[in-house]
Amino acid sequence: MTTVKDYIRTIPDFPHAGILFRDVTTLFADPRGFRMAVDQLLAPYAGRRIDQVVGLEARGFILGGAVAHQLSAGFTPIRKKGKLPAATLSQDYTLEYGTATVEIHDDAIKPGQTVLVVDDLLATGGTAEAGIKLIQQLGGDILGCAFVVDLPDLGGRARLEAMGMNVHALCAYSGA
């Protein structure tokens, strides 16, 4: 296998009929694939100072922790509402049917810290946008947003780029 995409399994009709689910757990399970993904997520930011890596729940924790380790940076999780134990900031975002909320500890990012946002998949960009807003509220300077998979037909990349974000994805699937 020579590309990150080679390690990603596609599961038809999950979680609903007509959906092609891009399963990155097979990428994480393979040592060569996982290392390749982490190295490629870091590549655009080589030589840049990154103080904190922010991982979006839940697979962003797996990638973000590995990326933070490679950078000797701190790691900060952005979690679903009610999962963090100390004082938090929260941000709502829109789902297909309703809204959801993500949170960050209110002392997780210091003003002026350089932040890299990491997650496994960019679809509509709602979760990432909410996370970006939380980081900005805390005064973080977002260097970029790095994803393993981009589903460009769902508009997430365009949404984040419209916010002024630098978006990096290792592979893309059209017709998602």
Catalytic center residues:
59, 96
90, two tokens: 């929260």
CA max distance for the chain: 45
Alpha helices by DSSP H, 138-176: 156-162
Q: Show Cβ contacts of residue 106 under 8 Å, excluding neighbours closer than 6 positions.
A: 86, 87, 88, 89, 138
End-to-end Cα distance, the chain: 22
CA distance 63 to 17: 28
